[in-house]
Amino acid sequence: MLELVEKLYENHDLTDGELKQLILTDDKAAEELLIKRADETRQKYYGKKVFLRGLIEISSFCKNNCLYCGIRHDNKNAQRYRLSREEILSCCENGYELGFRTFVMQGGEDAYYNDEFMCGIISEIKNKYPDCAVTLSLGERSGQSYKRMKEAGADRYLLRHETASDELYKKLHPNEMSLENRKKCLFNLKKLHYQVGAGFMVGAPFQTVENIVEDLRFLQDLQPQMIGIGPFIPHHDTPFKGEKQGTLELTLRLLGIIRLMFPKVLLPATTALGTISPIGRELGLKTGCNVIMPNLSPVKVRKKYDLYDNKICTGEEAAECRGCLQRRVKSVGYEIVSERGDFINA
């Protein structure tokens, strides 16, 4: 198993069979070597730097019905809210003070945030904070819409592909949604020169090791600048309420594998990883992650952006989060920097 880790470290690729073996291994020595090589790779390109992305959860309204998600349209118990232009700007102001140089506007698919609204707020943020990057994570939109928002100044777009298997995609989503359209959106975004983030949930219901290999192959095909993965965590008001959550071990293993396959990728230690283990994000950082996405949303809406159960950091002010993260990141030997943290092309 150690040879497989070394081979992946050197070639950034393995055969499907080898990938499966490495994903499923329980060999402790291989696990340790994977962590070591993932950390070396991350440090080679990004040193000890950890980039922050201030997450502003702009809307909990959503027209979709993804079976895993707590803010799915049919969840009658979900509490819905929308942030106004002024509220979003005040999150940015707060974030800028705290050293954030990337703002991520994320939300359910909510028609209220049409192109006019989004282009207005994007150009306002870019005018006020020319040294900051604006990232969007608003789901599937038309090519025209992505183009307008890019022209208004958006730099990046996060759209997890969720799974690259048609069969699994259909089990996780209602009939109206398709993997084909999701992929089309991702390739559109790349063509428009957004820095693109894709990704998937680890341990989603019905997911097999073959599906995970398909995800890695899709990512090789897309070549995104960012890859977001985190454990699936059931939400009590969804059809998947009785399903098992993804494990810490498998998520960390995949983070290490992804770092070796995509040496320069921007890789967040996600909030979901921090939710399934009190030191999940720290372990992620030690296994190749170099990004953290703290919550910048107003405290009064945080509990309402309820994608999965027990989500962490829904009680504190952004400033408290910043201090807590500073300590956590330092505790594993890395340092938070106040930079945009773009993908390195060189």
Return residues touching ligand SAH (CB under 6 A): 68-69, 106, 108-109, 137, 139, 159-160, 162, 201, 230, 232-233, 235, 272, 307-308
Shortest approach of ligand SAH to residue 201 CB, angstroms?
5
- Helix axis angle, 143-151 relative to 179-191, nearest 10°? 30
Question: H-type helices in the chain, by residue range?
Answer: 2-11, 16-24, 28-46, 85-97, 115-128, 143-151, 166-172, 179-191, 209-222, 248-261, 271-276, 280-286, 299-302, 318-331
Tell me how crowded residue 40 is: count the other CB atoms within 10 A of its CB: 14
Shortest approach of ligand SAH to residue 173 CB, angstroms?
10
* Token reading at 176: 């109206």
Which residue lies nearer to ligand SAH by CB, 65 or 326? 65
Backbone torsions φ then ψ of 40, nearest 5 degrees: -60, -45
Shortest approach of ligand SAH to residue 235 CB, angstroms?
5
Which residue lies nearer to ligand SAH by CB, 95 or 197? 197
Shortest approach of ligand SAH to residue 207 CB, angstroms?
12
| Distance set, CA 37 to CA 4, 18, 259 (Å) | 12, 17, 9
Shortest approach of ligand SAH to residue 227 CB, angstroms?
12
Which residue lies nearer to ligand SAH by CB, 218 or 308? 308
Annotate 263-283 with b (16+ C-beta within 10 A) or e (fewer). bbbbbbbbbbbbbbbeebbbb
Which residue lies nearer to ligand SAH by CB, 9 or 113? 113
Shortest approach of ligand SAH to residue 159 CB, angstroms?
5
327 vs 162: CA distance, rounded Å:
32
139 vs 118: CA distance, rounded Å:
13
Which residue lies nearer to ligand SAH by CB, 95 or 234? 234
Shortest approach of ligand SAH to residue 236 CB, angstroms?
10
Cα–Cα nearest to 290, from 218, 211, 220, 344: 344
Which residue lies nearer to ligand SAH by CB, 41 or 270? 270
62 vs 74: CA distance, rounded Å:
9
Which residue lies nearer to ligand SAH by CB, 109 or 342? 109
The number of angstroms, rounded, from the C-alpha of 177 to the middle of its chain's C-alpha atoms is 20
Shortest approach of ligand SAH to residue 231 CB, angstroms?
6
The single-letter DSSP state of residue 315 is: S
Which residue lies nearer to ligand SAH by CB, 69 or 91? 69
